[in-house]
Every structure is written in structure tokens, then in C-alpha cells.
Amino acid sequence: MSPQEYHPRFSPIILFGIAVLLMAFQPLHAQSLDELIESTWAKYNRIISTPGSVPAELQPLHVQLFDPNPVVRIRAVQGLSLAGGPMAALLTLRAMDDSTEKSAAVRLEAALGLGEVAGRQALEVLGVGIDDADQTVRTRVLESLRWAGTVFAVPYISLALNGDPSNKRPKDKVIGVRLEAVRMLRKIGTQFSVQPLADALTGPQQDKDITIRKAAADALGEIGKKERDVARYLGNAYTPEKNLGVKLEIIKSLGKVRDRAGLPYLEVAMKDRNPTLKMRATRVYGRVLGLQ
């Protein structure tokens, strides 16, 4: 069986940034997600149509991705992930894209395998699954992105959490998927996670769901243990926030920020008209002084 080239139809989805951390940790660079997907498919089609381009040992596994039995395709995906490397990741593309692979079970296995393969190529192929039709697959993709690219994965994960308003791309409509995005940004836990979490907490991109905002505030507090500038984002979110539970979470997180950076913002909360907030802020303020 000789695999045929496939030319998918692309929706106008925008990736607001790809983390390009060179040796000097340069800032993120914006790139269009649909352009990235299209270039990845072009690379795949070029490889499979050029004799000798696919390594001989990977060719049998690639052919099995076209088998009508999904169990066989799953075994092929597992074999490619065990083989590892950029070429194996690229050949998994067909199994990751829901326009070519109709079995969610196969796509789940592809996402899992790509997370284990890791690296730039695996990251790009996983990007195809950000808008998968199945929310379970999308959730798995977010977790695998974290393993495949760590800080390089932040712009992809951020698309699920906040979307890209400048290009009218909505955030993921499922709360559980957005929560997973928050969880992965928290686990990555560097300065690159701060802005997308802050965007979900407050401002024009603020998430309407209080569960997401509470989770974002909590994640910022954990990152704040290493990144003192987090206090500014939490402090700016406190006053405009209307929900009591979210404000309490912000206060708790301000108490975690290193170098007592949260104290000025806790002072503001100590003057709140709400007695619950005032008491909580006072207690956290005192605890910070006692611990540090």
C-alpha cells in the first residue's frame, strides 16, 4: 500500500506566539497557527513523496497508519513513539489530525506518544490537536504539550485558555479543557506562564467562569514563590474583581509571593469594606511577616 498525499483544509486559527528561547532566552515570537500547520503538512507530504526520505525502519509503521483497523493504527503510533526522534514525530501527523484520523482513541494515543517523543517537531504536530473535535483529545494534547516543549509550549497552551481576540479566535468552550490549560501553565511554572494566567484572571480577556479565575490566581501564587513580579499582576486583579471567592484566592496567593512583594497589595485588601476580605488579608499579612 502506498500512502497518498493529503491536503487538508485549514481554518483561520492564529497562534499568538511561539516560545523561541535561544541560548540567550529571547522573547516569544508571533506566528500564525494555520501557517504552522500548513507548513508541517507540506513537510510531511514532501517527505513521504520523496523516495528514500522515510527511514526504512520507520516505513512499515507509517504504512500501518493507513490500516482500516484502529487497533493496528494505535500499535503503529506506539511504535513510532518508541522509535522517537523528529522523523517519527512528523510521521505521526496523520494520526494526530482529526481531518485524517477519525478515531479519537488513535488521536489520544498519538498525543500521548508525541509527549514522550518531545522536541520541536513533536510540539508542532501536537499543535494540530489544539482544536480537535473531541474534548478528551484536546485535554490530552495540552498535557503532552507541556512534556513535549515545556516553556516552548506556553503559546499553544495559552490559545486554549484565552484564545486570540485580535484574530477573533475564541478560547476553548469547555471549562474542563481551560482548567487543564491553567494546570499545565502552573506546572511549567516560569515567567512565561505569568501573562496568560494574568489575562485569564483580569482584563479584556478575563474568563467569565469563576472556577478558571480562582485556578489562575492560585497558579500565579505558586509561580510567585519564584517570580516576585507576580505580585503586581495579582494586585492589579484584586480591585476590579467582583467575586468574593476569587478575591480570597488572590489574597492567599499574594501571601505566597517571594520577598514580601505582595505586602503593599495586601495592605489595600486590609482596607476593604468587606469584613471577610479585611480579616483574611490581615491574617495573611501577619503570616507573611512571621514567615519571612
Same domain, 113 and 235: no
| Domain span at 292 | 189-292
Q: Taking the C-alpha atoms of 42, 44, 47 and 53 in order, what is their torsion angle to the nearest 10 degrees?
A: 160
Taking the CA atoms of the chain, what radius of gyration do you get in angstroms? 22
| pLDDT tens-digit map of 161-211 | 999 877 677 899 999 999 999 999 999 999 999 999 999 999 999 999 999
Same domain, 23 and 124: yes
Average pLDDT, the chain: 88
- pLDDT the model gives residue 33: 76
Q: How many domains does the chain have?
A: 2
Mean pLDDT along residues 218-237:
96
* Residue 254 contacts residue 228 (beta carbons within 8 Å): no
- pLDDT the model gives residue 292: 56
Residue 259 gets which letter from DSSP? G
Question: What does 39-81 look like in DSSP terms, one character per residue?
Answer: HHHHHHHHHHHSTT-S-TTTHHHHHHTT-S-HHHHHHHHHHHH
Higher-confidence residue: 10 or 204?
204
Same domain, 5 and 87: yes
Give the CATH number of the domain where residue 147 resides.
1.25.10
Same domain, 264 and 149: no
Tell me: pLDDT of 3 over 70. no
Domain C-terminal end among 180, 209, 234:
180
Same domain, 206 and 111: no
Q: How far apart are CA 100 and CA 93, in angstroms?
A: 9
Higher-confidence residue: 23 or 5?
5
Domain C-terminal end among 127, 146, 180:
180
Same domain, 195 and 170: no
| pLDDT tens-digit map of 42-100 | 999 999 999 999 999 999 999 999 999 999 999 999 999 999 999 999 999 999 999 99
Which residues are within 8 A (CB) of 15 and not within 5 positions of it... i.e. 6 or more apart? Answer: 30, 31, 32, 33, 36, 127, 155, 156, 159, 164
- pLDDT the model gives residue 291: 73
Q: How far apart are CA 112 and CA 45, in angstroms?
A: 23
What are the cell numbers at 202?
483580569
- pLDDT the model gives residue 215: 98
What are the cell numbers at 109?
494515543
Tell me: pLDDT of 250 over 70. yes
Domain C-terminal end among 180, 202, 222:
180
